[in-house]
Chain A
Amino acid sequence: MVINSLLSVFISHCIDSNYYSNSLRLVIFRSEMVFTLSDQHHLLSKIATNDGHGENSPYFDGWKAYDSDPFHATKNSNGVIQMGLAENQLCFNFVQEWIKRNPKASICTVDGVTQFKDIAIFQDYHGLPEFRNAVANFMGRVRGGRVTFDPDRIVMSGGATGAHESITFCLADPGEAFLVPTPYYPGFDRDLRWRTGVQLLPVVCESSNNFKITEAALEAAYEKAQEAKIKVKGLLITNPSNPLGTILDRETLRSIVNFINQKNIHLVCDEIYAATVFTQPKFISISEIIEEDIECNRNLIHIVYSLSKDMGFPGFRVGIIYSYNNAVVNCCRKMSSFGLVSTQTQHLIASMLSDQEFVESFIAESAKRLAMRHRIFTRGLSQVDISCLKSNAGLFVWMDLRRLLKDSTVKAEMALWRMIIKDVKLNVSPGSSFHCSEPGWFRVCFANMDDDTMEVALRRIQTFVLKGKEADLEVKRQRWRNDILRLSLKPLRYDEMTMTPRSMMSPHSPIPHSPLVRART
């Protein structure tokens, strides 16, 4: 109502002064928008107008900062480097070589166009048989051939995003809940909850034991739900973990299986990072555990997979639901109508992943390149005393910046994060956006850029940390100066106390003085 009256005053002023321009029309237009926005809440569904899409999370804010000022080696070398996007860009040349050698894999080439019509009209939600066979084969190879997957249980979805939503629709009714160990991928808040009406309840994991999922934590989360009278329908785990980059050991997996069987709830295992395990220990899939000597109702076991991370094809939207429960397979297959994989893409993937030689060499080469990136990155961080959670998988590290926080609060973490984006010009993801119980952790992606950009990113981090140390030192110096003034000590001591940044660095550090640091001294 206030806006209404202000607006009418403005309009009358403009009319009185014979002033009528585009800006006035714009104001009127905007005011109409303002009035109709509140109408939207009656006109549209709650889902369309609430925040369930989760995009107001800081996880996405950093992306916006990147979008408005993206780093480019030559055109914008001061731009923001994107380290908040878990993409795998390390093996494209490898894939491109294969594509060049296999023109039939594309239905658009001279060699492949004979199949164009059949592929273009194929809309059976079972998917192309050769696609399902190839994906089942690939999933088995990624697990070292220790298990095989049945192509008839392979169900398509619109990426892992679509897979998670569909399987949630299948397993839970609105108001029911899934337990998820923290920290977890922020997208789950949208994928599992937004349109389904299902809740997510955290299983709190802590750094004191490297964020292990303990029986106690599981039981505590379950109890809490019971007390709140919320029906728990399942547990969702991501293995290898996003954002931790770690894999679950056999003991933890077995205790999880025991837990869900005992409670008679589902276990959804998101294994989309399975092929990003780059060093020992070897990855253990839930599909292996259930083949062991363990009591398990297979109707409770479901796997979500995708080619977005392992192969680096997020654009192709290849999501997979693999369930050991026939009713779930049937239901999810019907639901896959809402997010089938383009047959053009099914055809390409079928050709690529049924090439055994390519598959084996890709898996090996990808792991090698990820290992090297991880090694260079973590070494660079350790040179400025930044540690990461020890990890052997994923496209990121879980960086420990707790000691850089003003205090152990989310507020301090967000302040640090804003500083990192604004001053260091890196988009990293704050732990709070992953629902981490302890402030100070950040997920930093390392596989979505070339070697040179990674070097730039490392240098920026190192500079920032050193600057921080210099700043700390300056604070200490100031305190000391005050003390001197108070205690009337000789100025000579002050000179002796002055330290240059270089002397703080390890004698082995190759990092030259940053101009920022130089400017201070």
Chain B
Amino acid sequence: MKLLSRKTTCNSHGQDSSYFLGWQEYEKNAYDEVLNPTGIIQMGLAENQLSFDLLESWLAKNPEAVGFKRDGESIFREMALFQDYHGLPIFKNALAEFMAEIRGNKVRFDPNKLVLTAGATSANETLMFCLAEPGEAFLLPTPYYPGFDRDLKWRTGVEIVPIQCSSSNSFQITESALEKAYRLAQKRKLKVKGVLITNPSNPLGTTMNLIELNLLISFVAAKGIHLISDEIYSGTVFNSPGFISITEALMDRNLHGSEVSNRVHIVYSLSKDLGLPGFRVGAIYSNNDTVVAAATKMSSFGLVSSQTQYLLSAMLSDKNFTSNYATENQKRLKKRHDMLVSGLQEAGIGCLKSNAGLFCWVDMRHLLSSKTFGAEKELWKKMLYQVGLNISPGSSCHCTEPGWFRVCFANMSEETLNHSMQRIKDFVDSTTDVVSRRHRLVVRNSRRRSSHDRDSER
């Protein structure tokens, strides 16, 4: 008799993907400025390491809040016992306000509609369990975060059907792409239960405009299906155009409180905006009471540690801190982004114009030996083993066009980033291909032009 479940032997956990293989190679030979200067630089991890000093100084200024004390009395016992899956009220209130603040207070969130989960990983899986049966499907625009293959599909049995987006229009979602995906699902005899978008996008680093958001709202309204908006990068928007949340788009169309708004759910987390992935703080926000009730019960399988809820409720309740943090963090992200973009341009490599996220969507199509995913894999291996950079190949993000790579810029020091740019430049210089040299010239010239039209669309 087969000893283990099908889940142990299938590949739906997605970890055989190159996205994760690169990480493994990095683990074996991690770069260190002093101890291992020829090691692999990790540029495949979307972490925000730029603003820890701000967090640390807040901690130093608030010893009572973080010392398990209230009015001088220890609250350790109260904290250690707190396991209510409704979550700590002061924490949920603070989180709801923090989310509103990120959206410029143009929208408000009701803490009672917030469900706490162990990271966005758990939030996304929980929503699948709530909204779809095994064998049903969600539509996702490509390229998308590789982790979705595990989070949405593995234990839930739900399928993902891609909404193919292309570089020809900067990977924006079109009506025809949506309809094509829907028809593809029907052809595969998969019942579509909803659409999941990531806004700001991972891996593109772009925010959606109102046209796209309206398109999505109309689409899900017409089809009677759900819309999940994963907004975990909402606080990383460092440049115009600003961030428009799905909630704002609904309000804009007077659909707040309507039937379709009952089918719109937001996923959030503090892993990217505050740079605290280790603390496992995720959330689901839904206007649908049944979803909130079911997700709340399911959160038992992955509650947020009460110790962490207590700490963060104090931190997020400090409005001075949160507004200063947001401004400073975005400034630093922009600086890093600009460093990466110009460094790549020096090497004749362009990026998709972006205004958010912890990474750039880098165009290396001209460096491919052929317009194939085989060639992309070759290039990825060269980058990993020869150049010593772990970057994420577009195929791992289900991109339909070979040659795009996601490169992270916020998880290392400035020196390391500069060093990685130098390595890329050296690698490209060593390429004797005439075509690529000509391309470099074109890209360098375009940099001089683009500084004049910052406000152009994408």
Q: CB within 8 Å of B: which residues of A?
A: 33, 36-37, 40, 43-49, 53, 55, 87, 89, 92, 95-96, 99, 106, 108-110, 113, 116-117, 119-123, 158-159, 161-162, 165, 169-174, 190-191, 195, 231, 264, 266, 299-300, 308, 312-317, 327-328, 331, 334-335, 337-345, 348
Interface check B132, CB cutoff 8 A: yes
Whether the pair A338, B5 counts as a contact (CB closer than 8 A) is no
Tell me whether chain A's interface is mostly helix, strand or loop, or mixed. helix
Whether the pair A317, B303 counts as a contact (CB closer than 8 A) is yes
Q: A92 vs B82: C-alpha distance in the bound complex, in angstroms?
A: 14
Interface check B385, CB cutoff 8 A: no
- Chain A binder among B122-130, B391-399, B423-431: B122-130
Known: A87-B81, A312-B80, A339-B122. Is A45-B4 also a contact (CB below 8 A)? no
Q: A33 vs B262: C-alpha distance in the bound complex, in angstroms?
A: 11
Instruction: List 3 A-B pairs, minimum CB-CB distance, nearest first.
Output: A315-B306, A343-B278, A108-B66
Q: CB within 8 Å of A: which residues of B?
A: 1, 3-8, 13, 15, 47, 49, 52, 55-56, 59-60, 63, 66-68, 74, 76-77, 79-83, 118-119, 121-122, 125, 129-134, 150-151, 155, 224, 226, 259, 262-263, 271, 275-280, 288-291, 294, 297-298, 300-308, 311
In the complex, what residues of B have CB within 8 A of residue A99's CB?
68, 76
In the complex, what residues of B have CB within 8 A of residue A314's CB?
80-81, 83
Q: Please pick, from B76, B271, B276, the residue contacting A96 in the complex, using a CB distance under 8 A.
A: B76
Shortest Cβ distance from residue B416 to the other chain A in the assembled complex, whole angstroms = 15
Shortest Cβ distance from residue A61 to the other chain B in the assembled complex, whole angstroms = 16
Q: A334 vs B226: C-alpha distance in the bound complex, in angstroms?
A: 28
Shortest Cβ distance from residue A253 to the other chain B in the assembled complex, whole angstroms = 22
Whether the pair B81, A89 counts as a contact (CB closer than 8 A) is yes
Whether the pair A108, B67 counts as a contact (CB closer than 8 A) is yes
CB closest residue in chain B, given A448: B81
In the complex, what residues of B have CB within 8 A of residue A170's CB?
4-5, 7-8
Known: A99-B76, A264-B1. Is A344-B307 also a contact (CB below 8 A)? yes
Q: A146 vs B415: C-alpha distance in the bound complex, in angstroms?
A: 51
Known: A158-B118, A334-B15. Is A48-B129 also a contact (CB below 8 A)? yes
Q: A40 vs B287: C-alpha distance in the bound complex, in angstroms?
A: 13
In the complex, what residues of A have CB within 8 A of residue B77's CB?
89, 92, 96
Q: A339 vs B81: C-alpha distance in the bound complex, in angstroms?
A: 18
Q: Which one of A45, A89, A92, A165 has the highest number of Cβ atoms from chain B below 10 Å of its Cβ?
A: A45
Q: A162 vs B298: C-alpha distance in the bound complex, in angstroms?
A: 10
Whether the pair A117, B52 counts as a contact (CB closer than 8 A) is yes
CB closest residue in chain A, given B15: A334
Tell me whether chain B's interface is mostly helix, strand or loop, or mixed. helix
Q: A123-B277, A338-B301 are in contact. List 13 more A-B contacts (CB 8 A).
A: A48-B294, A92-B80, A96-B74, A113-B56, A121-B47, A158-B122, A169-B5, A300-B3, A315-B82, A315-B306, A317-B303, A317-B305, A344-B308
Shortest Cβ distance from residue A124 to the other chain B in the assembled complex, whole angstroms = 9
Q: A33 vs B290: C-alpha distance in the bound complex, in angstroms?
A: 11
Known: A48-B294, A331-B4. Is A313-B80 also a contact (CB below 8 A)? yes
Q: A331 vs B13: C-alpha distance in the bound complex, in angstroms?
A: 9
Known: A113-B60, A339-B122, A344-B308. Is A44-B291 also a contact (CB below 8 A)? yes
Whether the pair B278, A110 counts as a contact (CB closer than 8 A) is no
A-B contact pairs, 24 of them (CB 8 A): A43-B226, A48-B131, A48-B291, A89-B77, A106-B68, A110-B60, A113-B59, A120-B279, A162-B302, A169-B5, A170-B8, A173-B7, A190-B297, A315-B79, A316-B306, A317-B302, A334-B150, A338-B118, A338-B155, A340-B119, A340-B280, A343-B278, A343-B280, A348-B307
Q: Please pick, from A55, A173, A312, A342, the residue contacting B307 in the complex, using a CB distance under 8 A.
A: A342
In the complex, what residues of B have CB within 8 A of residue A48's CB?
129-131, 290-291, 294
In the complex, what residues of A have CB within 8 A of residue B304's CB?
317, 342
In the complex, what residues of A have CB within 8 A of residue B151's CB?
337
In the complex, what residues of B have CB within 8 A of residue A327's CB?
4, 8
Known: A37-B290, A338-B122, A344-B279. Is A158-B303 also a contact (CB below 8 A)? yes
Q: A169 vs B8: C-alpha distance in the bound complex, in angstroms?
A: 8
In the complex, what residues of A have CB within 8 A of residue B276's CB?
120-121
CB closest residue in chain B, given A108: B66
Q: A106 vs B311: C-alpha distance in the bound complex, in angstroms?
A: 11
Q: A123 vs B118: C-alpha distance in the bound complex, in angstroms?
A: 12
Known: A314-B81, A315-B80. Is A44-B290 also a contact (CB below 8 A)? yes
Q: A117 vs B411: C-alpha distance in the bound complex, in angstroms?
A: 12
In the complex, what residues of A have CB within 8 A of residue B76's CB?
92, 95-96, 99
Whether the pair A339, B118 counts as a contact (CB closer than 8 A) is yes
In the complex, what residues of B have CB within 8 A of residue A121's CB?
47, 49, 275-278
Whether the pair B125, A315 counts as a contact (CB closer than 8 A) is no
Whether the pair A171, B5 counts as a contact (CB closer than 8 A) is yes
CB closest residue in chain B, given A266: B3
Whether the pair A341, B305 counts as a contact (CB closer than 8 A) is yes
In the complex, what residues of A have CB within 8 A of residue B8's CB?
170, 327-328, 331
Shortest Cβ distance from residue A450 to the other chain B in the assembled complex, whole angstroms = 11
